[in-house]
Amino acid sequence: MGFTILAINPGSTSTKLALYEEETLVFFEQAEHSDEDFAGFIDILDQLDFRLEVVRSILNKHHVSLPTLSAVVGRGGLLPPVKAGGYLVNEKMKTLILSGKLSPHASNLGALLADRIAAPLGIPAYIYDSVSSHEFREIATITGIPEFHRHSQCHVLNSKAMGRKLAQKYGKQYEDLNLIVAHLGGGISIGAHEKGRIVDSIGDDSGPFSPERTGSLPLLYIVDLCYSGQYTKREMVRKIRGLGGIKAHLGTHDCRLVEKMIADGNEKARLVYEAEAYQIAKGIGELAPVLNGDVDYIILTGGLAHSAMMTSMIAERIKFIAPVEIMPGEVEMEALAHGALRLLRGEEVPSVFEDETPS
């Protein structure tokens, strides 16, 4: 018999579940979460039990017999820098995530959810191509504060998968191309892919603002806010990640509602939406020199890439750099399941996580 794999992908506004038998998709379901769903939770870790019940409900709906599972794989979160590829979820990983020391991100729940399902069954729980997978050259890690080094934090899983799909479309190898991939979702990240490696990136808190995140801000302004006495650390983090961006301006992170506002003549909504596209284009331009301007394609992917309004505003500003490919949505579930399948088959060996708690 072949391997049966459950893939779990917690995002900022949804929880996605997919069941695969070998490479074949059995079912996929996405549970959407509203602001009201999360109203009683102070931070993302508080959502764990809620998300677990969502997962169990979907499994029951599809009459999944849990003993038939071979492995569970979750999206990897904002761990300290790790290798690209697969990791077995272990106690050190779970302890670090539950400590609250990591930057808050829904993907941090991926390992915990996978473990909650897999552990009682005695089967492996994996993460694959974590958000923090690190392939930077040393020069990209240097900052103006010697004790702080930059590390990659972007939508590695979907960005690499879309890069491979684009290469296949043109009869090429991902490892032979130079790409800039912008993942446009609840958080926005942009990566420079040089011959199959993400050699530099702009994370979702260091570049353009997104539907619910502030993106980069003047540091002294943030220092002033942090020492103003108006906010706790938890409140400041929530202000930056979850309550920032378009939500802060317009009261919603749902860009479909924003586009309806624009269609109804709301000029503030139009300006804010265009400003987001403007900042995304700036971020893509910022990474072009990393590849010495030798960019084969620019990919716009993620949920927001479904918006013709948004992608056209971005493409108009960046088309001089390289051809722009619109690849809306994501293939993260397929990438997770296929990665876990390679681990189960022994085609890849899972790495072992060692706790390197960030300062």
- Does residue 110 belong to any structural domain of this protein? yes
The first and second tokens of residue 46, run together, are 């508080």
* Per-chain mean pLDDT for the chain: 94
- 356, pLDDT greater than 60: no
User: In terms of domains, do 160 and 128 share one?
Assistant: no
CATH number, domain with residue 10:
3.30.420.40
- Does residue 151 belong to any structural domain of this protein? no
Over residues 25-76, the pLDDT tens digits come to: 999 999 998 878 888 888 899 999 999 999 999 999 999 999 999 999 999 9
- Does residue 14 belong to any structural domain of this protein? yes
User: In terms of domains, do 191 and 319 share one?
Assistant: yes
User: In terms of domains, do 278 and 341 share one?
Assistant: no
As a whole number, mean pLDDT of residues 84-113 equals 93
- 238, pLDDT greater than 80: yes
User: In terms of domains, do 109 and 191 share one?
Assistant: no
- 323, pLDDT greater than 90: yes
User: In terms of domains, do 160 and 274 share one?
Assistant: yes
- Does residue 143 belong to any structural domain of this protein? no
Categorize the per-residue pLDDT at 306 as very low, low, confident or very high, splitting at 50, 70 and 90. very high
Q: Can you give the pLDDT at residue 77?
A: 87
- Does residue 237 belong to any structural domain of this protein? yes
- Does residue 180 belong to any structural domain of this protein? yes
- Does residue 356 belong to any structural domain of this protein? no
Number of domains in the chain: 2
User: In terms of domains, do 92 and 33 share one?
Assistant: yes
- Does residue 354 belong to any structural domain of this protein? no
User: In terms of domains, do 234 and 267 share one?
Assistant: yes
Q: Can you give the pLDDT at residue 358?
A: 40
Categorize the per-residue pLDDT at 1 as very low, low, confident or very high, splitting at 50, 70 and 90. low
As a whole number, mean pLDDT of residues 155-164 equals 91
- 359, pLDDT greater than 80: no
pTM for the model stands at: 0.80
Residues 6 or more apart in contact with residue 133 via CB below 8 angstroms: 76, 81, 82, 83, 84, 85, 152, 156, 198
As a whole number, mean pLDDT of residues 219-227 equals 95
Q: Can you give the pLDDT at residue 95?
A: 96
- 18, pLDDT greater than 70: yes
Domain that holds residue 274: 156-329
User: In terms of domains, do 165 and 313 share one?
Assistant: yes
User: In terms of domains, do 88 and 169 share one?
Assistant: no
User: In terms of domains, do 88 and 199 share one?
Assistant: no
User: In terms of domains, do 212 and 111 share one?
Assistant: no
User: In terms of domains, do 62 and 93 share one?
Assistant: yes
As a whole number, mean pLDDT of residues 97-115 equals 92
